Amino acid sequence: MPGDTSTTMTTYLEFEKPIAELESKISELRHLPNSGDVDIAEEVMRLQSKVDKLLRATYAKLTPWQRVQVARHAERPHAQRYIDRLITSYMPLAGDRAFGEDAAVVGGIGRLGGRSVVVLGQEKGDDTEARIKHNFGMARPEGYRKAQRLMKLADRFGMPVVTLVDTPGAYPGIDAEARGQAEAVASSIDTCLSLGVPLISVIIGEGGSGGALALASADRVYMLENSIYSVITPEGCASILWRDNANAQDAAEAMKVTAGDLKKLDVIDEVIPEPIGGAHRGADETIDLVGKVIGEALAELSKLDADTLRQRRQDKFLAMGKKGL
């Protein structure tokens, strides 16, 4: 949050350079001894006020491409952090009971606001070692089959399902294709649509193509304000249309990847606001608000029977595409 020194950034995006320069000056001043010639505390307050104003002005007019960068920010909170903060009595579950474990998909059983739930998330990792372990959030077939297993478990025991989506897309490697990646994604979508329990999905960072839809064919689909959701990355789209991913900025504009655009198109249900400066500047605040939104949705959807949930969910996705741009 602006003015909160505990959220000092270590990684700045290209368009945040003026903010970075001011915060660097503030950091330098805080390490200076009081000389008496300059009131350091007063100067820090003055500069912090400038940072707050600049941050608000910058984030009030983000372009789609800038939102793509924010959605991918290295310090943005990922799925496991949401689970750790929101889910109590959490018991992680692993493996697809067919091939093996896929660390790109984390999940298990726990309690959210006193309600038993099954939670699933695509985990990117917070450092180089973790990103390699979790394959940057790109699941292989066993990851999607693990998700299916946990969703079916939830259905069997009458527990709602919560999914946290953050992936560039399903892993496109040869090994994944050899083990049936397309079938695994399609079956995961089918499992989502067939559940007789409430299914809530929140896109917390990137929502990339079928790899995201496999966990987001839900009763309620929410997006954080600076997250993105698209059939292909802007770079991939630019490479196809212009034969050059340097046009990614133009692609991001044309593709309508932002939460605001997708809400207008009725692809998602609601936009969850982020702190000024993005979720990475107020992670706990963001996570708590996401938990509140999920809790309210579950309270409403839990009143519906299984047949009604299935029919509404299927009707919702069949209706998509009928509304033009």
At 23 the pLDDT is: 81
At 51 the pLDDT is: 82
> Which residues, other chains included, contact 150 with Cβ-Cβ below 8 Å and sequence gap of 6+?
93, 107, 108, 118, 120, 161
User: What are the structural domain ranges in the chain?
Assistant: 20-61, 68-319
Q: Could you tell me the two tokens for 296? A: 């309210």
Half-sphere exposure of 277 (CA within 13 A, CB side): 24
Of 111, 96, 203, nearest to 151 by C-alpha is 96
Rounded to the nearest angstrom, the gap between the alpha carbon of residue 150 and the centroid of all alpha carbons in its chain is 20
Cα(273)–Cα(289) distance, rounded to whole angstroms?
8
Q: Where are the alpha helices (DSSP H) in the chain?
A: 17-30, 40-59, 64-71, 79-86, 128-133, 141-157, 174-178, 181-194, 209-216, 234-241, 248-255, 259-264, 283-301, 306-319
Cα(125)–Cα(1) distance, rounded to whole angstroms?
23
Tell me the one-letter amino acid at 47: L
At 27 the pLDDT is: 76
CA separation, residue 12 to residues 9, 147, 285 (Å):
7, 34, 20
Half-sphere exposure of 31 (CA within 13 A, CB side): 6
Mean pLDDT by 10 residues, the chain (325 residues): 47 87 78 64 78 89 94 95 97 94 96 96 95 95 97 97 96 95 96 97 95 96 97 92 90 94 93 94 96 97 96 92 65
At 36 the pLDDT is: 59
Q: Where are the alpha helices (DSSP H) in 256-305?
A: 259-264, 283-301
The terminus-to-terminus CA distance of the chain in angstroms comes to 35
Using an 8 Å Cβ cutoff, are 22 and 47 in contact? yes
At 21 the pLDDT is: 84
At 28 the pLDDT is: 75
* Angle CA 194–110–170, to nearest 5: 50
Phi, psi values for residue 298, rounded to 5°: -65, -40
Does domain 68-319 fall into CATH 3.90.226.10?
yes
At 50 the pLDDT is: 84
Of 217, 55, 91, nearest to 148 by C-alpha is 217
Using an 8 Å Cβ cutoff, are 166 and 137 in contact? yes
Using an 8 Å Cβ cutoff, are 75 and 10 in contact? yes
At 25 the pLDDT is: 80
Query: Cα Rg for the chain, rounded, in angstroms?
Result: 21
Using an 8 Å Cβ cutoff, are 148 and 191 in contact? yes
Sign of CA dihedral 133, 135, 136, 141: negative
Of 108, 125, 105, 124, nearest to 116 by C-alpha is 108
Question: Which residues share a beta bridge with 163?
Answer: 120, 201
* Angle CA 307–310–315, to nearest 5: 120
At 294 the pLDDT is: 98
